[in-house]
Structure 1
Amino acid sequence: MFRYIIKELRLKNNFTQQEVAERIGITRPAYTAYELGKREPDFNTLRILADLFGVSTDFLLGRSPQKSYSKNGTLVAEIIDDTFADEDVKEILSFIDYLKNKSDKKKTID
């Protein structure tokens, strides 16, 4: 699960494997091994990946549909109740991303 999640987040953020590796302080082959499921990150690297992608470590590990966003270094969690159906969770997360993107675009205009 982890390998699919980090690849999806990397592509969604338009990062190359090299860019992610540099940002988290490892080599590209080491990062590629994460996406291939041949290697797993240590706790510190997992935390750095979560910060880079603006998600919780539980989300990276596939343990939670909770996505977190950071603003000015402060972690802001959007909590999705476990009672929602998978389609509802996807729709809610898409809406959160839409709001975040809308907010980011507005900031670039100001």
Structure 2
Amino acid sequence: GQVRARLRRDFAADEEDGDPADLWWEPVLEQAVSDGTLPALTGEAFGALDHMYALLAVRYAEAPRERRPGDTHDVLGKAVRVPSGYAWGPLLHESFAERLRLAMGEPVPDWPEA
């Protein structure tokens, strides 16, 4: 009720963005607010962001001549799988895979399990 209304008010989404109830993270945030674990969830989210950033930034910082073929794909794969270690990770994987499937018109191959 109130938590959902506050969450929706705080996300200034355009009408064209679709139904706010479709946001994969909304139930996660509602539960965290209800349980009083929002600070822990925030820490997890920023920890995951920092981990993904570090994986990508180290790769970006390397000189192009030091890169081997396939390295970029491997690093991107590691970054994409970082959320898998969190309770909310499968929701993110599932949401993105579905949006990509709708955009591409076919299932996404080799995507992390939801």
Work out which structure has the larger RCO, using CA pairs closer than 8 Å and 6 or more positions apart in sequence: 2
Q: Which has the larger radius of gyration?
A: 2
TM-score by length of 1: 0.28
Which is helix-richer, 1 or 2? 2
TM-score by length of 2: 0.27
